[in-house]
């Protein structure tokens, strides 16, 4: 996602238009919350589990089965159903066991949690009294990290972070991403973000980088450049949300812990 070599100029226009469109759609759904936000993250989740299955060698039938299995907990999370609850969490776990047993592919079972937990976390964050701020914080800190890592990596360069996995990422990029995310978290305190959450933002930026590296490793192992092709100029949905996958559940846990203090 960040620190990638420049793409061809012919691809830059498409990439820019699609990127702006994604931001507009995500911002609108986040602002409205409720059914609109649930629809967006549910659609993203169904595409992500399909891409995850492809990265782990699943055939077409098992890809569809993975989507069908995940539909159950995703449907339960709808505002007109139980919403983001322990019931949904239990159904995610159940979907994981079902997929692992039926397909005899344990990584498909893992995929239910890999995709389902971030969806649950984002809906849980948006459902809080300050949900718009909290969900925006969890999502946008990943964007800030990506931007900071990209510019720090290009400007400073230096030693590679994990060259065998992602040869373009540097230690300077990691530090730049942490710094950018940390400054973003501090800025949000002016709009009511609790200081404990702001202080954890740089650590969440490390998680975002780890999620990015993990997906890079999955793609390298699968021998593909992108997780999918649904987003022209960007690849798959997993390619765009790999950093948010580990961040969202941890952010939700931090918010819950803060609320119980």
HEC profile of the chain: CCCCCCCCHHHHHHHHHHHHHHHHHHHHHHHHCHHHHHHHHHHHHHHHHHHHHHHCCCCHHHHHHHHHHHHHHHHHCCCCCCCCCHHHHHHHHHHHHHHHHHHCCHHHHHHHHHHHHHHHHHHHHHCCCCHHHHHHHHHHHHHHHHHHHHHHHHHHCCCEEECCCEEEEEHHHHHHHHHHHHHHHHHHHHHCCCHHHHHHHHHHHHHHHHHHHHHHHHHHHHCCCCCCCCECCCECHHHHHCCHHHHHHHHHHHHHHHHCC
How would you write the pLDDT of the chain (261 residues) with one tens digit per residue?
444 444 444 466 777 788 788 889 999 999 999 999 999 999 999 999 999 999 999 999 999 999 999 999 999 999 999 999 999 999 999 999 999 999 999 999 999 999 999 999 999 999 999 999 999 999 999 999 999 998 998 899 889 989 888 888 899 999 999 999 999 999 999 999 999 999 999 999 999 999 999 999 999 999 999 998 888 877 899 999 999 999 999 999 999 999 877
Backbone angles phi, psi at 160, to 5 degrees: -80, 150
pTM of the model: 0.92
């Amino acid at each position: 996602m960040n620190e990638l070599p420049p793409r061809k100029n012919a691809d830059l226009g498409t990439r820019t238009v699609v990127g702006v469109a994604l931001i507009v759609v995500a911002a609108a759904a986040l602002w409205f919350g409720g059914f609109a936000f649930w629809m967006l993250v549910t659609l993203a989740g169904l595409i992500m589990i399909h891409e995850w299955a492809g990265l782990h060698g699943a055939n077409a039938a098992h890809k569809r089965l993975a989507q069908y299995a995940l539909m159950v907990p995703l449907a339960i999370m709808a505002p007109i159903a139980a919403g983001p609850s322990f019931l949904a969490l239990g159904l995610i776990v159940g979907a994981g066991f079902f997929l692992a047993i039926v397909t005899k592919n344990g990584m498909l079972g893992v995929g239910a949690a890999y995709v389902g937990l971030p969806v649950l976390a984002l809906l849980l964050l948006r459902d809080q009294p300050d949900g718009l701020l909290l969900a925006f914080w969890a999502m946008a800190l990943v964007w800030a990290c990506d931007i900071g890592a990209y510019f720090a990596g290009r400007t400073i360069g230096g030693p590679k972070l994990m060259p065998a996995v992602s040869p373009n990422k540097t230690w300077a990029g990691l530090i730049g991403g942490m710094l950018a995310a940390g400054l973003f978290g501090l800025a949000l305190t002016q709009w009511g973000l609790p200081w404990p959450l702001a202080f954890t933002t740089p650590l969440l930026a490390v998680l975002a980088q780890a999620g990015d590296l993990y997906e890079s490793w999955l793609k390298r192992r699968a021998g593909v450049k992108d997780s999918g092709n649904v987003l022209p100029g960007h690849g798959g949905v997993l390619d765009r949300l790999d950093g948010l996958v580990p961040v969202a559940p941890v952010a939700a846990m931090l918010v819950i812990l803060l609320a119980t203090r």
